[in-house]
Amino acid sequence: MAMNKKLLGILNEQINKEMYSAHLYLSINAYLTSKNLPGFANYMRVQYQEEMSHALKLFDYLLERGERAVLAEIAAVKIEWKDPIDVFEDTYKHEKLITESINEVLGEAHEVKDYAAINMLQWYINEQVEEEAHVSSVLEQLKMVEGRGTGLFMLDREMQNRVFIDSTQV
């Protein structure tokens, strides 16, 4: 049975949003590298990898359903920030927008009673809760140390330990 066209369209839009997120986080990686913050740069490199895996999960889902994944142009991303606090404030705002977008996709899946899509999208709902919580935690820690000094150095060292684990395969 063919997927509802409106749902198919917004799932394709979500693929684009996930790829935009990946580009944004890779841009942040470059910025943080230029500021000699290799741990935070690593954090964003891992974010980039996660977002690409999220896009591919949606892409593969559409193919499994016998639908065509349609890739759109990815808008240019920001390349400069004031400091690491500004980076994580932007990141938190962006993750909240992605959560809102996923909620809209899920709402449409419910509306058209596409239970397979509802099941698949639940993974994204859970992932976004985790994403927002983690980014918020880092942001709050950065604010505690006012984004500088020994505290910034220690947080940067901690961020170096983050590794990519493809949770879409679980």
Q: What is the pLDDT of residues 52-101, one digit of tens each?
A: 999 999 999 999 999 999 999 999 999 999 999 999 999 999 999 999 99
Q: Is there a domain that residue 167 lies in?
A: no
What's at 137, amino acid-wise? S
Q: Is residue 43 part of a domain?
A: yes
d(CA 81, CA 55): 25
Residue 170 within any structural domain of the chain: no
The Cα 131–Cα 1 span in angstroms is 33
Query: Domain for residue 136, yes or no?
Result: yes
Please tell me the total count of domains within the chain. 1
Q: Does residue 87 form part of some domain? A: yes
Position 135 pLDDT exceeds 80: yes
pLDDT band at 19 (very low <50, low <70, confident <90, very high): very high
- The CATH number assigned to the domain holding 90 equals 1.20.1260.10
Report whether 159 contacts 42 (CB < 8 A): yes
Domain assignment present for residue 58? The answer is yes
168 within some domain: no
**Burial of 43 by CB count in 10 Å (0-12 exposed, 13-18 middle, 19+ buried)?**
buried
Residue 166: the pLDDT is: 86
With respect to residue 144, please indicate whether it lies within any of the assigned structural domains: yes
Domain that holds residue 94: 5-71+79-162
What does pTM read for this prediction? 0.95
